[in-house]
Structure 1
Amino acid sequence: MSSSSSSLPTPSGFSVLVSAATFKFNLAHFVAYKGFRERLHGHNYKLSIELFGPRISSDGYVLDFGVVKSVCKAVCKSLNEHVIIPQKSDVLDVRDLEGKEDHVIVTCEDGCVFVFPKKDCYFAEIAHSTVEEISLMLYGRIMEGLGVGKLLGRGIDRVVIGLSEALGQESTVEIPVVEGFDREEWERTGFNGFLKRGGGKVEFKGISCGRCGCQCGEGKGKGGGEGGETGGS
């Protein structure tokens, strides 16, 4: 192979975008923050991941598509057909149902109460079950499955997680790949401080699903503080 020449271009970097029919899961949820709660409803979520690096390895890959597909498929399967319960919500009280510890009781700020079998729940270290926060959780699960050391060894330095809940409604988040990453620490620290909770006491105005367009409420909710955008994912 001839040596490089200054008169020829040098690739500045590579990315691989991976999505598949198996990168999907169904979740029931409701977004809740100070002064607002959606009705319980569900979405069919679709995941994608893009990995970036400055080079290809000696096998010709940035990373084998098959490896990425295997990990993402397993992560999606673990969430499928559950009710997602935010463990760090400041407006939901989540505890075992007295006398029936295989069930959980969720009491909302507006006084509504839900009872679910634990086996039907996915208990997530998030504050709100939005696509944005679910994406941050998925990053940790996927990094744990792929292995940060393996990614860095191949020069992969950042990833973009894409998550859609409906046609035209998708969140993307770009996150560096960091040596020594620990998924449990990532979740315990609120995704290194990115997790936000609603601020300020706001009068409860009603129930609606302002972003998903599913007509599941009777009126627009009103929120305040950092979590105060009307509607939810």
Structure 2
Amino acid sequence: MKILVNGIQSNLRFSSAHVIPGHESCGFIHGHSYFVDIEIEGERAGKFEFVVDFKDVKKYTKAICDELDHRVLIPVYNKLIDFKDFDIETDSIFELKKQKTISFKIDGKGYSLPSVDCVLLPLPYTSAEELSKFFAETLSRKLAETYDNLDYISVCVNEGIGQGAQYKKEFVE
């Protein structure tokens, strides 16, 4: 059986700024009002024969949305971003997160932002494709703590009405 959670109607939303280094039009800092749709398939199980409790799915997803909301999303593992005092080959993302100011260059343009205004993501890009994978991977780990009856989770991160990217993560036994 499959369950669906509509991000707009369930208030699974966040607004963030990001940049896609090297992209012709998305290579400038810009923002989106995102919403997140979720599909989960699995066997009905437990006392109430749920596939998964909607309350859990919405709570975990909302927590991720809240972390990203009103922040600048920075893909730490993008080779076109040159961070000050950080080498992606040798340094830990946790060291970068300790800095009070995140300073970096993209194609010679310098940026310096308070770290509290940023979310440093272990991603190569902050595209809808990578964000949908990030949500699916994060949610699958959290749901696996409680549920052993799930086949897959599919997450669509929408950059606005009519355009988004969907990633499907299979649960393996």
User: Are residues 1:174 and 2:168 paired?
Assistant: yes
Residue 150 in 1 paired to residue 146 in 2?
A: yes
Q: Which residue of 1 aligns with 2:15?
A: 26
SS in 2 for 1:132: helix
- Counterpart check, 1:15 vs 2:2: yes
- Which residue pairs with 2:128 in the alignment? 131
Matches within 5 A, 1:1-233: 14-19=1-6, 20-33=9-22, 38-95=27-84, 101-108=99-106, 110-146=107-143, 148-152=144-148, 155-179=149-173
Distance 1:92 1:139 in 2: 25
Separation in structure 1 between the aligned mates of residue 132 and residue 27 of structure 2, nearest angstrom: 20
Alpha-carbon distance between aligned partners in 1 of 2:11 and 2:170, rounded to the nearest angstrom: 25
Corresponding residue pairs, total = 159
Give 1:71 deviation, angstroms: 1.1
| TM-score w.r.t. length of structure 2 | 0.83
Which one has the bigger strand percentage? 2
Deviates most, 169-178 or 111-120: 169-178
Specify every segment of 5 or more residues in structure 2 that has no aligned partner in the other structure, as ranges. 87-98
Residue 114 of structure 1 aligns with an amino acid whose one-letter code is: Y
Tell me by how many angstroms 1:133 deviates.
Answer: 0.5
- Who is 1:10 aligned against? none
Question: Unpaired runs of 5+ in structure 1?
Answer: 1-13, 180-233
Mapped partners of 2:66, 2:30: distance in 1? 19
User: What is the Cα deviation at residue 36 of structure 1?
Assistant: 8.1
SS at match of 1:68: helix
Letter in 2 for 1:18: V
Relative to 1, partners in 2 of residues 1:33 and 1:164: Cα closer, same or farther, differing over 3 Å?
Answer: same
Aligned to 2:65, what secondary structure does the other structure show?
helix
1:96: Cα distance to partner?
Answer: 5.1
Shift of 1:34: 8.0
AA in 2 matched with 1:107: K
**Which residue identity lines up with residue 150 of structure 1 in the other structure?**
T
Root-mean-square deviation (CA, aligned residues, Å) is 2.1
Instruction: Please say which of residues 26-35 and 67-76 is displaced more in the overlay.
Output: 26-35
Structure 2 residue matching 1:46: 3-state secondary structure: strand
- The percentage of aligned residue pairs carrying the same residue is 26
For residues 16-59 of structure 1, what are the alpha-carbon distances to aligned partners after superposition, in whole Å with 9 as ceiling and x for unaligned? 00134420001101101488861111001100111101445441
